[in-house]
Amino acid sequence: MITYYNDRAVQVTSQAIRVAGRSYPLTALSRVWHRRGQRSWGTVAGRGAIGVALLVPLVAAGLGIALALRLHTTTTTTVLIVGGSVLVGLAAAPLADLLLGRLDLSYSKGARALEIWAEVGGRPTLLVRTADALRFGQIYRALQRALEAAPRY
C-alpha cells in the first residue's frame, strides 16, 4: 500500500481515501471533481484591516510633517514635530514585516472554502472541505495520483 497524503483528518492511499473516520475505496469513486465554496468575508475584512494598519503610521507621519510645516512655530518646535513624525513613520518598518507575513498567510490559506467531491455509488459525496488552499492542493493532487495508479476493472 502506498500513502500519497496523510494528516490527522485525511489519508489518501493506493487503496482508499479516509476522511474523518470514513473510508472510500478508490474503486468506488466513479468521478472526482472540485469546486470553490462560499467566500469568507471575515478573511477579506482581515486583509483590509492589515492594509489599513500598514498605512496608518505612514499617513500619521505625513500629516505630522505637513502640520509642522504649516504651523508658524519656532524652529525647535518644528524640528521636534518633524522628528516625531519621522519616528512614527519609521515605526511602520518592523510593523510592516509582521503584517505582511500575516497577509501572505491569509492568501496561502485562501478566502474560500475548497471542496473535493466524488460520485460514490452514483451519488455526489463531499469528501473534503477546507479553507487551506495549500492543504487542498496537496490532497487533491494526492487523490489524482492515487486514482491514476489504481487498477480499473
Helix H or strand E segment including 114: strand 112-120
Instruction: Return the C-alpha cell found at 120.
Output: 460514490
pTM of the predicted protein model? 0.62
Q: Which residue has the cell 518646535?
A: 77
pLDDT digits (tens, 9 = 90+) for 5-44: 999 999 999 999 999 889 999 999 989 999 987 777 887 8
